[in-house]
Amino acid sequence: MHGKTCVQLGMWLAVLCGYAVAGEPGPGLTPEEQKEGFVSLFNGKDLEGWQGAVNGYTIEDGAMVCKPGGNIYTTKEYANFILRFEFKLPPGGNNGVGIRTPAKGDAAYVGMEIQILDDGHPKYKGIQPYQAHGSIYGVVPAKRGFLKPAGQWNSQEIMADGSRIRVTLNGTVILDADIAGIEKTLDGRPHPGLHNKKGYIGWLGHGDPVAFRNIRIKELP
């Protein structure tokens, strides 16, 4: 095959395999998302566009897997956005999403951490509400009971629009908070980065093989 037909076939195969094509928006994007301005943050092949503990994550079947762990961050900072991704937890798995955070320091305090946690596992029976999955760690608790069983893929959206933070898990809003007036945190610790205007987005690995795929983002005004 030659010319246009060959190019079209190559693009079709790339989409089928979940890989980005040069000049294309990237894997995991629906046509509607492309029209809305979403772009991919992960090409399904390597950690191009990410910084930090990149050796702590592997690529398996088009997914980014935390092995052996550490924090990785986008190379670009974001202020207001809608972040969408899929994740899969092993039994008892723990990770986190850092938002508006510097690339150094404990993201839960120098920025914000949206908890990623198999909070129904017996070992987390005694956790505080602000430690449950989807919570702004130490600050605002999320509703529980909407995670799929460990080993299944979940879909999550995080919207950060000014002081409003909203987390939607598998189609259900589990957190919707205006953090503008929050000065005293639930965990009683200082969170100097809670009101950051912008920062990096990151995965905050604790050694559990949590997997992420179809990571895409739309910047908001």
Q: What is the DSSP secondary-structure string of 70-89? A: EEEEESS-BSSEEEEEEEEP
User: Which stretch of 1-5, 43-47, 48-52, 204-208 has the lowest confidence by average pLDDT?
Assistant: 1-5
Rounded distance between C-alpha atoms, residue 45 and residue 60, angstroms: 9
Residue 106: CATH number of its domain: 2.60.120.560
Count Cβ atoms below 10 Å from residue 162 Cβ, excluding itself. 13
- The model's confidence at residue 13, banded by pLDDT at 50, 70 and 90, is very low
Residue 70 lies in a domain: yes
Report how many domains make up the chain.
1
Q: Which of 5-14, 82-91, 165-174 has the lowest mean pLDDT?
A: 5-14
Task: Tell me, yes or no, whether 108 lies in a domain.
Answer: yes
The answer to whether 134 and 169 are in contact (CB under 8 A) is yes
In a domain, 18, yes or no: no
Q: What percent of the chain has pLDDT over 90?
A: 86
- C-alpha 166/C-alpha 11 separation (Å) is 35
Q: Give the percent of the chain with pLDDT over 70.
A: 88
Residue corresponding to tokens 């509607």 = 32
Report CA 166 to chain centroid distance, whole Å.
13
pLDDT category, 15, cuts 50, 70, 90? Answer: very low
pLDDT given for residue 28 in this prediction: 79
Host domain of residue 117: 41-219
Helix (H) or strand (E) holding 117: strand 112-117
CB 44 within 8 A of CB 18: yes
Q: Tens digits of per-residue pLDDT, 17-76?
A: 443 433 345 677 999 999 999 999 999 999 999 999 999 999 999 999 999 999 999 999
Is 117 inside any structural domain? yes
* DSSP-based three-state secondary structure for 92: coil
Does residue 14 lie in a domain region? no
0.85 surpassed by pTM: yes
pLDDT at res. 35 = 96
Judge whether 201 lies within some domain: yes
The closest of 109, 107, 128 to 119, measured between CA atoms, is: 128
Judge whether residue 216 has pLDDT over 80. Answer: yes
For residue 16, tell me if it sits in a domain: no
Ramachandran quadrant class, 23 (left: phi over 0; alpha: psi -120 to 50; beta: rest)? left
Distance in angstroms (rounded) separating the CA atoms of residues 130 and 133: 8
- Whether 122 is in a domain gets the answer yes
Q: 100-123: per-residue pLDDT in tens?
A: 999 999 999 999 999 999 999 999
pLDDT exceeds cutoff 70 at 8: no
The chain-wide mean pLDDT, for the chain, equals: 90
